[in-house]
Structure 1
Amino acid sequence: MTEKVVVIYSGGMDSYTVLNRAIKDGMQVYPLTFDYGQRHVKEIDCAAAVCKSLNVPHKVIDISAINQLLAGSSLTDDIEIPEGHYEEESMKSTVVPNRNMILLSLAVGYAVSVGASKVYYGAHSGDHAIYPDCRPEFVEKMNDVCQIANYEAVEIYSPYLSVSKTAILTDGIAMGLDYSQTWTCYNGREHACGKCGACQERLEAFRDNNATDPLTYEVTA
Structure 2
Amino acid sequence: MMPQKVVVIYSGGMDSYTVLHKAIADGHDVYALSFNYGQRHVKELECAAQVCRELGINHKVVDISAINQLLAGSSLTDNIEVPEGHYEAENMKSTIVPNRNMILISLAVGYADSIKAKAVYYGAHSGDHFIYPDCRPEFVEKMNAVCQIANYDPIDIVSPYLHESKIEILRDGLAMGLDYSKTWTCYNGRELACGKCGACQERLEAFALNKAKDPLPYE
The 5 Å alignment of 1:70-219 reads 70-218=71-219
Partner of 1:27: 28
Q: Distance in 1 between matches of 2:8 and 2:191?
A: 27
Q: What TM-score do the two structures reach when normalised by structure 2?
A: 0.98
Q: Distance in 2 between matches of 1:85 and 1:33?
A: 26
Q: Distance in 1 between matches of 2:92 and 2:3?
A: 39
Is 1:50 the counterpart of 2:63? The answer is no
What is the letter of the counterpart of residue 149 of structure 1?
A
C-alpha contact 1:3 1:28 (8 A) present in aligned 2: yes
C-alpha contact 2:10 2:20 (8 A) present in aligned 1: yes
Instruction: Point out where structure 2 has 5 or more consecutive residues left out of the alignment.
Output: none
C-alpha contact 1:88 1:129 (8 A) present in aligned 2: no
Q: Distance in 1 between matches of 2:126 and 2:77?
A: 24
SS in 2 for 1:72: coil
Q: What TM-score do the two structures reach when normalised by structure 1?
A: 0.98
What is the letter of the counterpart of residue 197 of structure 1?
G
Q: CA deviation at 1:90?
A: 2.4
SS in 2 for 1:151: coil
What is the letter of the counterpart of residue 90 of structure 2?
E
What is the letter of the counterpart of residue 76 of structure 2?
L
Q: Distance in 2 between matches of 1:129 and 1:40?
A: 22
SS in 1 for 2:208: helix
Q: Distance in 2 between matches of 1:217 and 1:153?
A: 43
C-alpha contact 1:147 1:154 (8 A) present in aligned 2: yes
Q: Distance in 2 between matches of 1:123 and 1:149?
A: 22
Partner of 2:4: 3
What is the letter of the counterpart of residue 44 of structure 1?
L
Q: CA RMSD in A?
A: 0.8
Q: Report the number of matched residues.
A: 218
C-alpha contact 2:3 2:26 (8 A) present in aligned 1: no
